[in-house]
Amino acid sequence: MSTEQTTAADGFSYTLARTLDAPAAQVWRAWTTPEQYARWAYCAPGSVEMDVRPGGAWKATVVTPDGGEFPMTGTYAEVAENRRLTIAMDVPGKPEPEKMTVELAPEADDRTRLVVHQTCGTAEERDMAEQGSTMLLDSLTAFLKA
């Protein structure tokens, strides 16, 4: 996995890249099917709802390693099936949602290059978001191998 952190005029960014042993359509389904997403994204059973289309809403309750629950909501800003998904996440106390982009690029031998990019307001928010995304990608990798 490769990681890049940057500080731009408009915020603090990170980019994570990973090559997965699964075709892009399978990786897409893992990100956009509630039952599959719940299995690898640390979600409480039955908490994931997805309307995967531009402007469509989503929600999920993430369960932390210590058993705490963190409800999340948002919308889909961009949906290009099997290629690109931009997820807008509502953040309490912020006027605008945080956006995370997931890009998929098919590679040889039914592998997929996945790139996650997010810009946050502070270095601390970026570091926390990057840590969470790294955990998600680790779990997604294991889920796709199962």
Could you write out the DSSP letters of every residue in 67-124? S-EEEEEEEEEEEETTTEEEEEE--TT-SS-EEEEEEEEEETTTEEEEEEEEEESSHH
pLDDT in tens, the chain (146 residues): 555 555 555 678 999 999 999 999 999 999 999 999 999 999 999 999 999 999 999 999 999 889 999 999 999 999 999 999 999 999 888 888 999 999 999 999 999 999 999 999 889 999 999 999 999 999 999 999 98
Give the predicted TM-score (pTM) of the model: 0.90
Between CA 82 and CA 132, with CA 51 as vertex, the angle to 5 degrees is 70
Which domain, by its residues, includes 12? 2-145
pLDDT score recorded for residue 5: 55
- Per-position b or e across 96-133, b if 16+ CB within 10 A of its CB: eebbbbbbbeeeeeebbebbbbbbbeeeebbeebbebb
Rounded Cα distance, 131 and 28, in Å: 22
pLDDT score recorded for residue 81: 97
Q: Give me the number of domains the chain comprises.
A: 1
Distant-in-sequence contacts of 96-99, Cβ < 8 A, 24+ apart: 98/125, 98/129
pLDDT score recorded for residue 51: 98
**CATH, residue 94:** 3.30.530.20
The upper half-sphere exposure of residue 141, i.e. CA atoms within 13 Å in the direction of its Cβ, equals: 13
